[in-house]
């Protein structure tokens, strides 16, 4: 949703100082150990459960099945 157009020109200094606040953040990762394997996953996000061949079975969150893939 775009706001109203500016009433006056924004100075170069103000434009650059505003743009300097746009920063990319590295995603927060949680380290877990499953079956002797270290994996990193994003917190509060369902993960895909696969079988031994790598076929995706379902989505799991906090140890519970939440959706089919």
pLDDT tens-digit readout, 2-43: 678 889 998 999 989 988 888 898 889 989 887 888 988 888
Structure tokens at 3: 């706001």
Q: Is the separation of the CB atoms in 50 and 59 below 8 Å?
A: no
How far is 10 from 3, CA to CA, in rounded Å? 15
Q: Is the separation of the CB atoms in 48 and 59 below 8 Å?
A: yes
Per-residue pLDDT, averaged over 44-64, amounts to 89
pLDDT band per the 50, 70, 90 thresholds, residue 1: low
Supply the pLDDT for residue 54: 87
pTM above 0.75, yes or no: no
Per-residue pLDDT, averaged over 43-55, amounts to 89
């Amino acid at each position: 949703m775009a706001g109203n157009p500016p009433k006056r020109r924004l100075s170069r200094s103000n434009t650059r100082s505003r743009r300097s606040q746009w920063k990319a953040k590295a995603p927060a990762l949680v380290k877990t150990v499953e079956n002797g394997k270290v994996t990193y996953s994003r917190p509060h996000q369902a993960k895909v459960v696969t079988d031994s061949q790598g076929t995706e079975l379902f989505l799991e969150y906090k140890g519970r099945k939440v959706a089919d893939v």
